[in-house]
Structure 1
Amino acid sequence: MKNRIKFFLFLLSGLFVIFICMKNVSAIPISSNETTSENHDLDKKVSHDMKKVIYLTFDDGPSYKVTDRVLDILKEKDVKGTFFLIGSQIEGREGVVKRIYDEGNSIGLHTYTHKFNKIYCSEDKFIQEMLACRIQINNVIGISPNIIRFPGGSSKHLNNRCLKKLHDNNFKVYDWNMDNTDGLNPKLSPYSLYRKATKGSEKLSKVILLLHCTDMNNNTCEALPEIIEHYRSQGYEFKTITEETQELYFPISRRTFTFFENII
């Protein structure tokens, strides 16, 4: 009986010692310099995402007053933009096109007529429209841009076959991921245009912002300085789209037939 009691007391004392040791081990602090491989990967991802870039893009020019006013603002704010020009708009506005180019901005193609019933009747017609626009620009400033933007965006118009044809002609496609909707409603208040141009941008490290510079876009000019200051204050770097810029287009349709058919 005495032996059993001794064994029981010995067992309890052993368990008590083990408990004390485990408690002390758990209390040892982990060095603040120790991180897991997952944390290192997360740090790299965060630091990479922190490099933020914005491309200010202006469609449907050149116009007389508004495009010049946009250029004045860009020059004052020391930033550059990308202008997707309509070929038929250039005649009589050659001076505006030269100014866009001479002041270090980028120029892209936005078809020759911008008439949907013409440009979207076939893939070949669409490419012809881009080529005609490029010739018009080349006649004025001596360069042949290869960056293009679909009027209304590439959604529902671009499939793999069409994209291959465009690439075979050395064209690169650029849609947008932010839009101030001044193409749909140019008479929106400057504040509304500003809000639409900036809301949600904090989720994006790369912004391609759609703006317009037709004669109707005076309110865009009013909003533009604040738009620029917003992105500047958020640490964005302003860049122009060039042939080296990674393409950005809306999801390509998986259908095998062309979306250029039956477009009104």
Structure 2
Amino acid sequence: MKRIIQTLFLLLLSLCFIFPFSLSASSITPPQETDEKVVYLTFDDGPTPKVTEQILDVLKANDVKATFFIVGKEIKGREAILKRIYEEGHGIGLHTYSHNFKIIYKNPESFIMEMEKVKSTINETLGTHLDIKAIRFPGGSAGRLNTKFYNALCAKGYCIYDWNVDLQDGIKGTLPPSTFVKNAKKCQDGRMRRIILAHCNGNNKNTALALNDIITYYKQEGYIFKAIDHTTTPYFYRFKK
């Protein structure tokens, strides 16, 4: 009898791996991560002249790849910058077409439409057919993501990337570069993997000035830099119904 019970237990355990239990809506959290020391530099709101180009110069000089979450309306007239991002091997994510909160957060369908539109614009500009699945909520997913929203995004194959390190350069772009370097060392959740939120808008020249020191710090701490791609574990804030 003991042997039979052990056999049934092992069979049940194997089925758990084949057919994972679905989480209730009130307990959905990002997948668990390894302890690998990886840092993802991410830049929202571009492409923009000068600042995005300065950031690209610093990344190239340090042989570092980053990820740019693109706003569709910013592409026109800056096509060459987007092409440079792509040609230099950086990751490309979707950050809506309009970045207009009233439009994008009207309902899940409107949000998805915005993501599809920016993806289409990116591909038209690059002359490619990239199946971009990495997305970032303007302002972050906290307080916006719910079960219906999450399921709609999953049905489209989208992967959400919030952040656990915030330079705070989004609304405070004129802070000194030294402040951004200090903020880059603060992790919100204590995880080994760091996803750094930065911006490459027109008022983010101090972000570009801080970037070299941020990269130096993480290299000295033994981190490796990666761009977000289809193998990158999603990261989003826990949400309830």
TM-score with structure 2 setting the length: 0.83
The answer to which of 226-235 and 143-152 deviates more is 143-152
Secondary structure, counterpart of 2:45 in structure 1: strand
Higher RCO (CA 8 Å, separation ≥ 6 residues): 2
Given that residues 86 and 92 in structure 2 are in contact (C-alpha distance below 8 angstroms), is that contact kept between their aligned partners in structure 1?
A: yes
Matches within 5 A, 1:112-191: 112-141=97-126, 142=128, 143-191=130-178
- Between structure 1 and structure 2, the one with the greater Rg is 1
Cα deviation for residue 116 of structure 1 reads 0.4
* Preserved CA contact (<8 Å) 1:147 1:171: yes
1:76-115 aligned at under 5 Å gives the runs: 76-115=61-100
Paired residue for 1:238, among 197, 218, 225? 225
Q: Once superposed, what is the RMSD of the aligned Cα atoms?
A: 1.4
Match of 1:249? Answer: 236
- Contact 2:164/2:188 (CA < 8 Å) preserved in 1? no
The number of aligned residues is: 206
Match for residue 29 of structure 1?
none
- What amino acid is the match of 1:242? D
TM-score (norm 1): 0.76
CA distance in 1, matches of 2:81, 2:191: 32
Instruction: Give the AA of the match of 1:253.
Output: K
Q: Deviations over 1:3-33 (max 9, x none)?
A: xxxxxxxxxxxxxxxxxxxxxxxxxxxxxxx
Q: Distance in 2 between matches of 1:61 and 1:153?
A: 16
Q: Is the 8 A contact 2:187 2:194 kept in 1?
A: no
* Alpha-carbon distance in structure 2 between the residues aligned to 1:202 and 1:116: 27
**Consecutive unaligned residues in structure 2, runs of 5 or more:** 1-33
Q: CA deviation at 1:144?
A: 3.2
Query: Which of the two has greater helix per residue?
Result: 1
The one-letter amino acid of 1:227's match is I
Paired letter, 1:108: G
Where does structure 1 differ by over 6 angstroms across 4 or more consecutive aligned residues?
none
Q: Which runs of 5+ in 1 are unaligned?
A: 1-47, 255-264
Q: 1:202 to 1:149 in 2, by over 3 A?
A: closer
Percent sequence identity is: 44
